[in-house]
Structure 1
Amino acid sequence: MSKPGQMVLVALRKMIASGELAAGERLMEIPTAERFGVSRMPVRMAFVTLEQEGLLVRHGGRGYQVRSVSADDIAGAVEVRGVLEGLAARQSAERGLSEQAQAALRECLVQGDALFDKGYVTEEDLEAFHDLNMRFHQVIVESSANPAIAEALARNDHRPFASVSALAIDREDMAREYRRFNFAHMQHHSVFDALVSRQGARAEAIMREHANATLRYAEVFGAISHGERVKVISRGE
């Protein structure tokens, strides 16, 4: 996707997650292109991607409509992701990590330590965590050598906010967000230890629990229903 397309995609995803674009709101190509100062093609590509992600639905052949998303929708998809990633971790541990995979995971841990060791996080820190978190998860899935897991995860990613490619944060309580994401990072350390120790059951259990961190999205949508606002970091793949 082009740079303008990525810009529109990320912006719209943020607006949907924060509630700025409410469920049922219509989106048309021309007004959206004018809003972001781009041509219609990047907007069209962004709409198609958001439809694939389960955030937009076509509306009468003309334009799109923001899909209604419930906390239960998100929780169910996150649980499925936890099961799949847990299976990937168990199979990776049983097979044994390659030296290359171990090095990639260690690099993610070192980078994460640098973000959290200072005792607080900024929004920029959490953007960096987003990137290393995606790499960490990807390495584990690839190390399972089970393409069915990656295929199932790709399908599940079409559920709203089921993917690890987006982070929702509450900018009004960054101290809480530090605790939440630091805990998730500590889980990375724990699962890495289980993987290199070839403890498959332990690695699986940690990854399944680790998925619960994404259940913050359920809280986000609960907050939206009560008229609160949140800041969402959502990065394009």
Structure 2
Amino acid sequence: MSERDAERSVSQTVRAQLALRDMILSGRLRPGERISELQAVDITGVSRTPVRLALVRLEDEGLLQAIPSGGFMVKAFTERDILDSIELRGTLEGLAARFAAERGVSARSLEPLKECLADLDQLVRQDPISVEAFSAYVTMNARFHALLNELSASAPLIREIDRVSALPFASPSAFVMAQSALPEAHQILLIGQDHHRVVVDAIENREGARAEAVMREHSRLAARNLRLAIRNRTHLELMPALALLKSSAE
């Protein structure tokens, strides 16, 4: 295979992966539904080899489960599965913050994180916060976490954080949009932003244990948002992916 053909194959694999992931997380592919390679080819318009790789990647992410007779099935998740994924992300991000603090970060390297913190401050000061502002917060929050993780200067750790963040509902902003319609929305954002502020201060002052503890506590806000989203079933249209969640009765 030529280099150009290899690049095209990777591009098609990513395209198929993103298209199928979107269908799963939007609820268009339901838990327990079977997906064959041929069906995925029809859905994505991508040839069989890249589709096969995309399906395997989605299995690695935990969204699909291989069926012994062939093909894959959309997985469902318990609340405990999701809480464990959130806790795992918090543990890894806590380690990233500790590495950044203990290894030392220059003022210049810390500046993009501080700028992102200031942008988030402007958003969370709004009261009430519009759905559009929540949407902007999702993007800025993802950037804040990415910048913080980069300050760890640990490629293996960043790779593992990326892997766990790809698990269903485990990313830092997984429940932000579902949270936006809740009465507690502004209070939770203020708490989260205070965590952001404290971890930046801890890194700047080289307080590793403090930085780690704050980021682990910060991840637990996502667990709180999960419980609120489940309790307030009237706002599920903001997070169709909750269709993947098994009820406690199952």
Residue 10 of structure 1: CA displacement? 5.6
Residue 28 of structure 1: CA displacement? 4.7
Residue 29 of structure 1: CA displacement? 5.9
Q: In 2, distance between residues paired with 1:33 and 1:176?
A: 43
Scaled by the length of structure 2, what TM-score is found?
A: 0.73
Provide the residue aligned with 2:45 in structure 1: 39
Whether contact under 8 Å (1:72, 1:218) holds in the other structure is: no
Residue 13 of structure 1: CA displacement? 4.4
Residue 33 of structure 1: CA displacement? 6.9
Show the 5 A alignment for 1:77-96: 77-96=85-104
Question: Structure 2 vs 1, CA of residues 41 and 186 (structure 1 numbering), >3 Å: closer, same or farther?
Answer: farther
Question: Structure 2 vs 1, CA of residues 118 and 218 (structure 1 numbering), >3 Å: closer, same or farther?
Answer: closer
1:27 aligns with 2:38: no
Provide the residue aligned with 1:192 in structure 2: 200
Q: Helix, strand or coil: the match of 1:170?
A: helix
- Aligned letter for 2:26? M
- Aligned letter for 1:12? M
Q: In 1, distance between residues paired with 2:225 and 2:72?
A: 23
1:127 aligns with 2:135: yes
Whether contact under 8 Å (2:135, 2:177) holds in the other structure is: no
1:8 aligns with 2:19: yes
Q: 1 or 2 for the larger relative contact order (CA 8 Å, sep ≥6)?
A: 1
Show the 5 A alignment for 1:1-237: 1=11, 5=16, 8-9=19-20, 11-16=22-27, 21-28=29-36, 39-41=45-47, 44=51, 47-60=55-68, 62-157=70-165, 159-164=167-172, 166-170=174-178, 173-216=181-224, 218-219=226-227, 222=230, 229-232=236-239
- Aligned letter for 2:200? F
Question: Structure 2 vs 1, CA of residues 41 and 165 (structure 1 numbering), >3 Å: closer, same or farther?
Answer: farther
Paired positions, count: 228
For each residue in 1:175-215, what CA deviation from the matched residue of structure 2 results, as whole angstroms up to 9, or x when unmatched?
Answer: 42333233212211111111112222211111110011221
- Aligned letter for 1:14? L
Scaled by the length of structure 1, what TM-score is found?
A: 0.76
Whether contact under 8 Å (1:171, 1:230) holds in the other structure is: no
Q: In 1, distance between residues paired with 2:203 and 2:191?
A: 18
Work out the percentage of aligned pairs sharing the same amino acid. Answer: 32
Long gaps (5+) in structure 2 = 1-10, 242-250
Whether contact under 8 Å (1:22, 1:66) holds in the other structure is: yes
Question: Structure 2 vs 1, CA of residues 84 and 68 (structure 1 numbering), >3 Å: closer, same or farther?
Answer: same
Residue 158 of structure 1: CA displacement? 5.3
The higher radius of gyration belongs to: 2
Long gaps (5+) in structure 1 = none
